[in-house]
């Protein structure tokens, strides 16, 4: 120890480290007199002792052997699973679409660090129709956030159709509330209706078709 050195804080705790003693310094860089003080420390977890830079210890840059990080991390062993790829694809699409001006955020619990976000996403997916290598994550109408109430698992065709769909409001004549749909052609076929007739309803050229009414969402262009 040089005369100008402050006393080594032997016995003191910094985070989970306890300083045992000062050891031989190291000299780093191109300048020979760049002397780095080193200390022997032990971690509270019992992993043993190791040498670290004294400065890193006292400023808490190094506060444990890594056990804190390991305790927080939730292991899922899904790194090579299809669902994990879909999870990362979702985050990538969100970033790209936000750059393009699309308000496409992700449900906060799905973004938690240390594996927790993925496990929350996985739990929701398994309860809501996810099938490995078959289904794809879709936003309802390909609009809005990735969240439990605005996302679903559908086929690649569903996803493609929805991405290019227009929005319409439909209801039976006897109903009081309108339902918003994202693909008039698909809705018509699923309900035994004629797409061209439903499109005429949306254009205001007819009033009803087989007991159904239809109109376009304000601001949307005509078409299916």
CA-CA distance, 60 to 78, in Å (whole number)?
33
- Residue 44, CA distances (Å) to 16, 17, 47, 56, 170 in order: 5, 7, 8, 17, 65
Report the C-alpha gap between 195 and 153 in whole angstroms: 25
- pLDDT given at position 223: 38
Q: What angle do CA 93, 115, 140 make, to 5 degrees?
A: 35
Distance, in Å, from the CA atom of 22 to the CA atom of 39, rounded to the nearest integer, reads: 4
* Per-residue pLDDT at 73: 56
How far is Cα of residue 198 from the mean position of the Cα atoms in its chain? Answer: 38
Spatial separation of the C-alpha atoms in residues 224 and 207, rounded to whole Å: 18
Cα–Cα distances in angstroms (integers) from residue 194 to residues 150, 188, 189, 215, in the given order: 28, 6, 7, 15
Could you tell me which residues are beta bridge partners of residue 13? 18
Distance CA 151, CA 162 (A): 12
C-alpha to C-alpha distance for 147 and 94, rounded to whole angstroms = 12
CA–chain centroid gap for 95, Å, is 10
Distance CA 222, CA 224 (A): 7
**pTM, rounded to two decimals:** 0.47
For residue 213, give the H/E element and its range.
Answer: strand 212-216
- Treating both helix axes as pointing N-terminal to C-terminal, what angle do 82-99 and 116-127 enclose, rounded to 10 degrees? 110
Cα-to-chain-centroid distance, residue 181: 26
Tokens linked to 5: 């050195």
Q: What pLDDT does 161 receive?
A: 63
Determine the Cα angle at 8 with ends 7 and 10, to 5°: 130
What does each of the 224 residues of the chain score in pLDDT, given as a tens digit? 566 778 899 999 998 899 999 999 888 876 666 888 999 999 988 888 999 999 999 998 888 888 777 666 566 788 889 999 999 999 998 998 888 888 889 999 999 887 889 999 999 999 999 999 899 898 887 788 999 999 999 887 766 666 555 678 999 999 999 998 877 888 898 899 998 899 889 888 899 999 999 998 865 543 33
């Amino acid at each position: 120890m040089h005369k100008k050195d402050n006393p080594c804080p032997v016995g003191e705790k910094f985070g989970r480290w306890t300083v045992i003693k000062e050891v031989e310094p190291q000299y780093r860089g191109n300048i020979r007199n760049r002397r780095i003080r080193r200390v022997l420390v032990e971690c509270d977890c019992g992993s043993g002792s190791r040498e670290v830079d004294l400065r890193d210890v006292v400023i808490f840059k190094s506060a444990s052997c890594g056990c804190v990080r390991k305790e927080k991390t939730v292991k899922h062993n899904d790194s090579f699973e299809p669902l994990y790829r879909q999870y990362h694809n979702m985050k990538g699409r969100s970033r790209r679409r936000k750059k393009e001006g699309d308000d496409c955020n992700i449900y906060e619990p799905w973004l938690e660090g240390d594996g927790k976000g993925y496990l929350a996403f996985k739990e929701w997916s398994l309860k809501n129709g996810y099938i490995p290598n078959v289904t794809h994550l879709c936003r309802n109408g390909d609009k809005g956030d990735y969240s439990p109430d605005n996302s679903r698992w559908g086929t690649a065709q569903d996803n493609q159709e929805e991405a290019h769909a227009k929005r319409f409001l439909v209801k039976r004549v006897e109903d009081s509330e309108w339902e918003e749909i994202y693909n008039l052609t698909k809705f018509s076929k699923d309900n035994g209706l004629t797409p061209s007739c439903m499109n005429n309803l949306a254009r205001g050229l007819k009033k009803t078709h087989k007991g159904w009414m239809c109109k376009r969402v304000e601001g949307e262009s005509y078409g299916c």
